[in-house]
Amino acid sequence: MERFSILMVFVMVGMAISTVHNKVEAVYKAPWRIQTLFSVECQNYFDWQTVGLMHSFRKVKQPGHITRLLSCTEEQKKTYRGMHLAPTFEVPSMSKHPKTGDWYPAINKPAGIVHWLKHSKDAENVDWVVILDADMIIRGPIRPWKLGVEKGRPVAAYYGYLRGCDNILAKLHTKHPEFCDKVGGLLAMHIDDLRALAPFWLSKTEEVREDRAHWGANITGDIYEKGWISEMYGYSFGAAEVGLQHKINDNLMIYPGYTPREGVEPILLHYGLPFRVGNWSFSKADHDEDGIVYNCGQLFPKPPYPREVMQLKIDPNIRRGLFLSIECINILNEGLLLHHAANGCPKPAWSKYVNFLKSKAFAELTKPKLLTPATLEMMEHTDTVQEQIDDDAASPHPKIHTIFSTECTPYFDWQTLGLVHSFHLSGQPGNITRLLSCSNADLKLYKGHNLAPTHYVPSMSRHPLTDDWYPAINKPAAVLHWLNHANIDAEFIVILDADMIMRGPITPWEFKAARGRPVSTPYDYLIGCDNELAKLHTSHPEACDKVGGVSIMHIDDLRKFALLWLHKTEEVRADISHYAKNITGDIYESGWISEMYGYSFGAAELKLRHTINRGIMIYPGYVPEPGIKYRVFHYGLQFSVGNWSFDKAEWREVDLVNSCWARFPEPPDPSTLDHSDKENLQRTLLSIECVKTLNEALHLHHERRNCPVAGSLTTSEDDMTEERVISRKIGDFSENLDSKGDHKSANGSDFEELVSVSKDGTGIPSSFRFWVLFLCAFSVFGFLVVIFVVHSGHKRRGMKMKHHRNRRRNL
């Protein structure tokens, strides 16, 4: 009976503890029904991304289920090979809008989620939803309640470049612009919030996509100005419309190539931008058609090994960023290895890299990461931003210097005025230098010393050895002289021609120039890159790029390249037997474009391959591609508007700079143009803008010279007013473009959600939970002590002394 009583006491105590514990757990434990979603299309491009994301999902043991929303047409399904790559929910494709015919594949993301919510049974049995992009790698479990997600308060990553939340775009597309959050990438929310948001996400995406009048970079932050980020705005405006304000976190997700803040352990890698480590680089766009998933043994180019990365940077935090970059690709490659093995591919041949991916050291390096207090800090607590790693400098915006080559002639003087004037309007960072090639005799008579910051160069118009008259050789000769004689502190050099007008900044960070990877514009007529000319003049004809006009090059590459540029120019110029049009593309067959081939062949000799960008430069008179804001006019060819025309060659001997109020004939007034043909109208407006800018530069120059107001070439007040209007328009455009460079803002004062890292997602401090459990345990212990004392005393009074020790032992 006594033993039974003791047993009952313990049972009752156990039940009490269990009851208290269950009540506490009921308060704290968030629902565990999680669904992770990502949207893709039936393409090889998305298949290798799917393999990487799925592998990382399993690697970190992400709780809950994952579903791929697969948007495909019926025709695509017939040949699609990747149905087995992930748990899949098929969604009708909206890449081509069924009503408008607009081609915009990004709309499949909100459309796919709307379809999933309506038709999937999984959507009926879930509490929390995590929405990712396919081009992501998960580094640690994403548990919404651990991130601070609450019903009505989603958590999202920061997309600082969505400037439309702060301007007219938000006012046009949502009734609550004050609720517009600059978020995207990682989205974690309650299922009820997603149900309310999803239809607006889709409809607002359609709205913004149709609003072509507001696609400009100064409004949307989209550097391509093609409405490609309409879906991102659709999400932000849709959330604002239903009053859904986010807890914004700029630590959970990071782009490879960026440096994490100290103490932050990102749990998501988003490889949407190109990045590099040393001489190795990766861009997902380079693998747009890559069938790597279905090619046994094929992997992405291996990045540097960790021990090699240790040697690249001294700063430990920058080194952490580089480690994140190689981790991203290594996990992608690990996923591909496992996928190939699971699909019957033969065992890959042994290699050092494959062995590394299978090693315990790699497993240890890539084990699931845990959230740190710093990672959980929301934007209002953050006073620093993630910075993109420039592998050659700590600053994300390296110094730039712009150069152009001219001679001591009136012809180049008015071109210099136009270029320098437009440079200051464009917002181009850094300084500009004119490389002025003059003979001693010409220099004594020259009047244009003050037209631009100038580096003087000996003229090579007449070659000192061959006596060949070829002024174009001054360009590479001048660049080489400048490199050898000037103090240059810039990291990137922008090389232009004098007959250009700048319309906006040309920066390496926007156009993705890097050491070993210059950027230039296409010169498709350089057919010599494809025939015997390249084979004669470079040992690497396969590396010959048909480029010219505008070049953005790292200073180290330029130093190696400049001498070859000059030597190859001399070679091609001397090769008179290959001047023919069918070999060089030169319609004059005079070897006049030898300098252009010198550039291409010199770069090929170093295997210096260019990123060719068609959105930087346009010739006035050419039809512009819709949506592109060209940064440079190159008026090297004749162009016309109706009966008016402009040809720079006609002004070769005219001294416009030193003749007061001299200017070019005014082009037609835009108000007199035919506005029915939109394509022709845009072409015409660009042509007019080019000459208007030249005339404006001349007018300002004459004002600085204090030219008398009276004269045969005076400018009417109407012309001056019109010029000032155009100047302001160009200036506004360039200032807006320049301001776009600051994609990340450290200012978190716009966000009022305060999140304590001592909470576990339920809204109750974890310290409170500790004290509840402690008091419960202490009470139970005290109760047991009392029972034990009472019971022992009772037994001592009723037992004999000879049995006392035995009973003590039993108890």
Q: Is-contact 193 187, C-beta < 8 A?
A: no
Whether 111 shows a pLDDT value over 60: the answer reads yes
Percent of the chain with pLDDT over 90: 72
The predicted structure's pLDDT at residue 759: 36
Q: What is the pLDDT of residues 433-444, one digit of tens each?
A: 999 999 999 999
Q: In the chain, what are the domain boundaries?
A: 31-395, 400-618, 637-737, 766-810
Parallel, antiparallel or unpaired: strands 639-641 and 644-646 = antiparallel
How far is Cα 309 from Cα 324, in angstroms, rounded to an integer?
11
Residue 669 DSSP class: P
Q: What is the pLDDT of residues 519-546, one digit of tens each?
A: 999 999 999 999 999 999 999 999 999 9
* Chain centre distance of CA 89: 29
CATH number, domain 400-618, options 3.30.460.10, 1.20.58.100, 3.90.550.10, 3.20.20.10: 3.90.550.10
What's the predicted TM-score (pTM) here? Answer: 0.51
- pLDDT band at residue 771 under the 50/70/90 scheme: low
Q: What is the pLDDT of residues 307-331, one digit of tens each?
A: 988 877 567 888 899 999 999 999 9
| Bridge partners (DSSP) listed for residue 436 | 406, 456
How far is Cα 206 from Cα 229, in angstroms, rounded to an integer?
11
Q: Is-contact 639 619, C-beta < 8 A?
A: yes
Residue with tokens 């090579």: 460
Percent of the chain with pLDDT over 70: 81
Q: Retrieve residue 192's tokens.
A: 């009820």
Whether 638 shows a pLDDT value over 90: the answer reads yes
| Interacting residues of 63 by C-beta distance below 8 A, sequence separation 6+ | 32, 34, 141, 143
Q: What is the pLDDT of residues 182-210, one digit of tens each?
A: 999 999 999 999 999 999 999 999 999 99
Look up the CATH number of domain 31-395: 3.90.550.10
- pLDDT band at residue 15 under the 50/70/90 scheme: low
How far is Cα 232 from Cα 220, in angstroms, rounded to an integer?
10
Residue with tokens 């740190």: 372
Q: Is-contact 298 282, C-beta < 8 A?
A: no
Q: What is the pLDDT of residues 669-697, one digit of tens each?
A: 998 998 888 889 999 999 999 999 999 99
CA-only gyration radius of the chain, Å: 34
